[in-house]
Amino acid sequence: MNKNLSMAVAGAVLAMGASAANAGITIPAGDWTIDIGGNVNAYYTHTKYSGDLKSDTKGAFGNKSANQISTGLLPSAVGIGGKTRQNDLDIAFQFTFFTGSDSGTGTAFGSNSLNIRQAYMTFGDKSWGTIKMGRDLGIFGSDAILSDMTLLGVGAGAGNNGSSTLGRIGSGYQYADWKGQISYASPNWNGFSFNAGLMEGYDNAIDSTQHNLGYEGKVGYEWAGDFAGKVWAGALYNKHEGNATVRGYKTEGWEIGGKVDVAGFGLVGYYYDGQGLSGASSTRLAGYPGGLNGGVNFLGVSETDDKGGYVQATYTIPNVGTKLGVSWGESKSSADVGIGDFKNKSWIVGAYHPLTKSLNLVAEYTHNKIEGTNADNATAAQQAMDGKAKTLSLGAILFF
């Protein structure tokens, strides 16, 4: 994959070690070099529900099972970027358009949506760093999602209309999300680097006028060789305003993670902790799995206590290229009002086979369990949740 493609696509290749390198389309255009690339993916998913997720009489989350053809955690995308060198500055831009295979309405005659998740420019120099302005993936949680093996697959969240699934968003890490930002990335000093940025302020259904910016930062150290790896730590902060009936609160959190690769084996470990990171309103239970993920920031109107993490082990079979992986993760949230205590955990096993340098076949099995309470919901069944979703996924992802 060309190095100037979107972070999501390039990150997916790097996370899985796929052999799609050098697959982009590069076009000289005067002083500029234009890069075009992306991915197309589709999966058949069969999800079986049990417990409070199973029947309409206990939470209105659907039937006993669901079959679907959809994109996975990484939506299909096409990215257009350009770069040039002017007045001792490296200048670049990126636009990436994302969409899904699902019709979005549950019918063959529906239409899906087009989401422009990336639209940004950068300028800088390797001697002092790079400034980014526009919309791109957030800093906090970015390494967690880019290290997730399900970025080339499905993970949790199948069986629901939408342009993507969840991977292990909400059952191991918070969603980094695509945010308007002005951020800075340092040079690489013998493996050490850091990022910091002002982020678009998220509203929490009370401060909908977005009075406050968010702040995110991360430091990391990366090394190469036979025993390659990376360690990182990050933090975020966002203040939320209140009103006459709801007090204001703060979103703040920290994260730490690391990954190593040696002799075909890969290991990832990640943990986060904080307050106000997750939703705390009935939107959490608006429909499984999207409203139950517990991993989308700032949806609530009260402060939550949040923590979670995941571990992942992979092995790439020599001379074959198939990557086998298993991961476990969990996210917990609690609050005095709204959601009460909420837990979302999942086991995921997967096989990712490079049929060609551009095409990867994928097979996954996900066991997702949800437990919790939500006093905002009208029915007792929705206030006390205890259910499972087991998903088998088969499909392919093509990089170009």
Token pair belonging to 391? 């998903």
Domain harbouring 380, CATH code: 2.40.160.10
Q: SS3 for 18?
A: coil
User: Is residue 2 included in any domain, yes or no?
Assistant: no
Whether residue 301 is predicted with pLDDT greater than 80 in this model: the reply is: no
User: Is residue 281 included in any domain, yes or no?
Assistant: yes
User: Is residue 325 included in any domain, yes or no?
Assistant: yes
User: Is residue 341 included in any domain, yes or no?
Assistant: yes
The domain total for the chain is 1
Q: Give the model confidence (pLDDT) of 81-94 as tens digits.
A: 999 999 999 999 99
Q: Would you give the DSSP letter of residue 162?
A: S
User: Is residue 373 included in any domain, yes or no?
Assistant: yes
Q: Give the model confidence (pLDDT) of 47-63 as tens digits.
A: 998 876 665 433 334 56
- Residue 129: predicted pLDDT: 97
- Residue 91: predicted pLDDT: 97
Q: How confident is the model at residue 101 (pLDDT cuts 50, 70, 90)?
A: confident
- Residue 201: predicted pLDDT: 76
- Residue 108: predicted pLDDT: 52
User: Is residue 172 included in any domain, yes or no?
Assistant: yes
For the residues 24-44, what does the mean pLDDT come to?
Answer: 91
User: Is residue 74 included in any domain, yes or no?
Assistant: yes
> Domain range spanning residue 112?
7-399
Among 6, 163, 29, 1, residue whose Cα is nearest residue 80: 6
- Residue 244: predicted pLDDT: 66
For the residues 181-205, what does the mean pLDDT come to?
Answer: 90
User: Is residue 349 included in any domain, yes or no?
Assistant: yes
Residue pair 349/329 in contact (Cβ under 8 Å)? The answer is no
For the residues 19-35, what does the mean pLDDT come to?
Answer: 75
Whether residue 106 is predicted with pLDDT greater than 80 in this model: the reply is: no
Q: Report the alpha-carbon distance of residue 263 to residue 261 in Å, rounded.
A: 7
Ranges 64-68, 191-195, 394-398: which has the least confidence? 64-68
Whether residue 325 is predicted with pLDDT greater than 90 in this model: the reply is: yes
Beta-ladder partners of 257: 232, 270
Q: Give the model confidence (pLDDT) of 277-299 as tens digits.
A: 875 433 333 333 333 444 444 44
